[in-house]
Amino acid sequence: MSNLLRDIIPGIAAIVIVVIYYRLDISRSESVLQRWAAARRFEILQSQRCFFSGGFRWCSHKQTVFSVKVRDDLGHEHSGWVRFGRFGGGGYDDEPDIIWREHETAA
């Protein structure tokens, strides 16, 4: 095996591991968001994962924030930010922090 190939393989392996971890984290985050919405009988109209703190003043790298627009079972639409995880330790089992925007609309 050439020296160049021997030097490249560990870098490629590291990139593959990071991409797999990132995809699994996205999948897990979206699953938690879906369960959160279903438990509150919300229909998710829009959701986007925020890579920064969204509407929150701070957020750790162990937390996941989504910008969401949902419809409740009465037909009212709400939008805001939902943050899952704990500041220091991650984990998605806790109740999320939610910041709703001020306006609501009836569908």
pLDDT in tens, 43-99: 999 998 887 777 777 777 678 888 999 999 999 999 999 988 766 665 555 578 888
| Residue 102: DSSP 8-state | S
CA atoms of 69 and 88, how far apart (whole Å): 27
Number of H helices, E strands in the chain: 1, 5
Total of domains in the chain: 1
Model confidence, pTM? 0.71
CA atoms of 44 and 24, how far apart (whole Å): 21
> Is the separation of the CB atoms in 101 and 77 below 8 Å?
no
Domain with 41, as residue range(s), is 3-106
